[in-house]
Amino acid sequence: MDDAQRAVLAEEGRKAAFFCANCHGERGVSRYGEVPNLAGQHPAYILSQIEAFLTGTRRDDFMQGLMKVLSERDKLAIALYYASSPPPQMKADAGAGAGLYEKHCALCHQPDAGGAETFPRLAGQQAEYLRISLRRYLTQSGERFSAPMTAAVTQLGEKNINAVVNYLAGAHAAPSGGSAAANGR
């Protein structure tokens, strides 16, 4: 795929993502703390999670149902659209989380937390979503499974989750303090 083809598909994805925008935001910067930003996320990772919802290895009733309506072309187009959208930046004041991140997470998610391929971008992600996800991996509560992530959060320790989340989270606040429940979930 050359740049021109990518641009055409990304534009198609922008249109196909009109419904997604209700929760994930117009340009992939989420409106709700528990809904992940998709802006700047890697296409391979987005596609891997769409597949995980479809096969049921990742559980979320709403998302699992919704993914069934997407064609193969929609999936790729939406993934390319979000990847091309600028993500929020991390906060400037790093605090204790920076060292913890470097020690336990940077190897896979990259030193700048930008991720790569199927390792998700974490930089600028919603704080609440990060916290929920890390607790799920730690306690293996059943919504999603990743042995490397369970190992990493176990090594990090539950008491250090907040410090790492504060380091990674975006400088923006989730507007309105609303919840996706208000949006028909």
> Which residue ranges make up the site for ligand HEC (CB under 6 A)?
17, 19-20, 22-24, 34-36, 38, 46, 49-50, 60, 62-63, 66, 78, 104-105, 107-109, 118-120, 122, 130, 133-134, 143-144, 146, 148-149, 152-153, 156, 164, 180, 183-185
* Nearest to ligand HEC of 6, 60 (CB atom): 60
Distances (CA, A) of 137 to 23, 69, 88, 133: 23, 28, 24, 6
At its nearest, how many Å lie between ligand HEC and the CB of residue 5? 20
**Residue 2: CB minimum distance to ligand HEC, A:** 24
Nearest approach, Cβ of 139 to ligand HEC (angstroms)?
14
**Cβ closer to ligand HEC: 2 or 159?**
159
In this structure, are residues 39 and 29 in contact, taking their beta carbons and an 8 Å threshold? yes
Query: From the CB of 36, what's the least distance to ligand HEC, in Å?
Result: 4
Strands (E) across 45-96 are located at none
Return the DSSP state at 170: B
Least Cβ distance, residue 90 to ligand HEC (angstroms): 13
Nearer to ligand HEC, 2 or 154 (CB): 154
- The dihedrals phi and psi of 89, each to the nearest 5 degrees, come to -90, 160
By C-beta, is 2 or 121 nearer to ligand HEC? 121
Q: Which two tokens stand for residue 111?
A: 């030193």
What b/e readout covers 36-56, taking b as 16+ CB neighbours within 10 angstroms?
bbbbbbbbebbbebbebbeee
Helix (H, G, I), strand (E, B) or coil at 114: coil
Cβ atoms 169, 93 nearer than 8 A: no
143 vs 158 by CB, closer to ligand HEC = 143
